[in-house]
Structure 1
Amino acid sequence: MAKKKQVGRRVEGWKAKSWFKVHVPDNLGKAYIGDTIANDAESVVGRIMTATLGEITNDYAKQHMKMSFKIQNVTGDSAYTEFVGHEVTRDYLRSLVKRRSSRIDCIVPVTTKDNKKVRLTVCCYTFARANISQEHAIRNAITQSVAVQAQAWDLTTLLNGIVSGEISRDLFKAVKTIYPTRRVEVIKSKVEQVAAKVDTS
């Protein structure tokens, strides 16, 4: 004979859990992005939450940018996060591709001023097809420019540069003299870890 499901105990288990309101970092206005449920506050720390930049800033022209945040600490029923990466939607990327032009991808690992290792993926879109030497020159220009910026900025400033488009604009200026360029986008970022400190003593 089959055992009866103990529905009552399951309901009590869910009732024992608590809901926590998740907020983005200070530089994005500590905006509320949703709720997460857990047995206790310790279980919430370390969870990854996502939201579009459009939802965070109420600017729906930026719905194509998906932001990822890691819960760092909990106060009461509020959970506070740190930025761990972003990615542009596939639909948006497809809209940037044009016929008889080049898409030049460049993956740039950088270390910020506050010792965070970040991997950036940058895309350059040209007006016409670039040859191999031109693509190589564009990748070199992007790599050098991003590395210099990252060394002068902490992670918060780097995030602001991605969100505001400042990094993309600076990279556009750096590569447009090499080959006619239509657009440059930082399409993905990932905070990998705290970089190891170098002993200079």
Structure 2
Amino acid sequence: MAKKKQIGRRVEGWKAKSWYKVYVPESFGSTPIGETIAADSANLVGRVMSTTLGEIAQDFAKQHIKMKFKISRVAGDAAYTEFIGHELTKDYLRSLVKRRTSRIDSHIMGSTKDGKRIHLTVTCYTLIGANSSQIHAIRGVMYAQMTAFVAQNDWATVVDGIVTGSISRDLLAQVKGIFPIRRIEVIKSKIESKVIIA
């Protein structure tokens, strides 16, 4: 004889859970970015929420910047987060690639002044094709500048430099004397730690 489905228990399980509104850090305006559900608020800590900078800033021009936030504490029905990294969308990155030009990537691993171990990917797009020695020189400058910047600043300052574009502008000023450069982007950042994906 077939067993009856225990629908009642499943409904009771969902009723036992609560919804929590998730907020980005104060540095991003404490904007709500959505809601998440849990039976116990303690289970929310460590959960990762994703959105775009365009949604946070209400600026469509920044929709290509994907942001990740990890819930760090819960108070009542509000969950508060910390920023743990970003990534530019693949469509946006493809739009930056032009024929007969060079793309130069530099991967920076380092620790910030406040002890955050981070990984950054910085990409340079040239106006014309560069040879191997020019690529090596450009990558060397980007790596040296970014390694020093990370070591001399806290994570909040690094994040501000990424979001405002000041890091990209400063790198461009340093590199354009070597070779004609069209654009420099910090295409990805993340804190090197284990997180629970929602």
Q: Which residue identity is paired with 1:8?
A: G
Give the C-alpha shift of residue 174 in structure 1: 1.1
Q: Equivalent pairs: percent with the same residue?
A: 60
Deviations, residues 132-158 of structure 1 (Å, cap 9, x unaligned): 111110111001111221122111111
2:132 is aligned to 132
Where in structure 2 are the equivalents of 1:13-162 lying within 5 Å? 13-162=13-162
Q: Note if 1:185 corresponds to 2:170.
A: no
Structure 2: distance between partners of 1:53 and 1:18: 27
2:196 is aligned to none
Q: Which residue identity is paired with 1:55?
A: E
Give the C-alpha shift of residue 129 in structure 1: 0.7
Structure 2: distance between partners of 1:25 and 1:5: 43
Give the C-alpha shift of residue 73 in structure 1: 0.3
Q: SS in structure 2 opposite 1:114?
A: coil
Deviations, residues 108-136 of structure 1 (Å, cap 9, x unaligned): 11211111111000110001110111111
Structure 2: distance between partners of 1:10 and 1:4: 13
Structure 1: distance between partners of 2:17 and 2:141: 52
User: Unaligned 5+ residue runs, structure 2?
Assistant: 194-198
Give the C-alpha shift of residue 63 in structure 1: 0.3
Q: Which residue identity is paired with 1:17?
A: K
Deviations, residues 162-194 of structure 1 (Å, cap 9, x unaligned): 00001011111111111100000000001114x
Structure 2: distance between partners of 1:117 and 1:178: 30
Deviations, residues 30-86 of structure 1 (Å, cap 9, x unaligned): 110011100111000000110100001111100000001111000000001111111
1:199 is aligned to none
Deviations, residues 81-109 of structure 1 (Å, cap 9, x unaligned): 11111100000000000000000011111
- State the TM-score, normalizing by the size of structure 2: 0.96
Of the structure 1 ranges 146-155 and 40-49, higher mean CA displacement relative to structure 2 is found in 146-155
Q: Note if 1:164 corresponds to 2:164.
A: yes
How many residues align? The count is: 193
Q: Which residue identity is paired with 1:164?
A: T
Q: Which residue identity is paired with 1:78?
A: A
1:175 is aligned to 175
Query: After TM superposition, which residue ranges in structure 1, 4 or more long, deviate above 4 angstroms?
Result: none
1:2 is aligned to 2
- State the TM-score, normalizing by the size of structure 1: 0.94
Structure 2: distance between partners of 1:164 and 1:187: 13
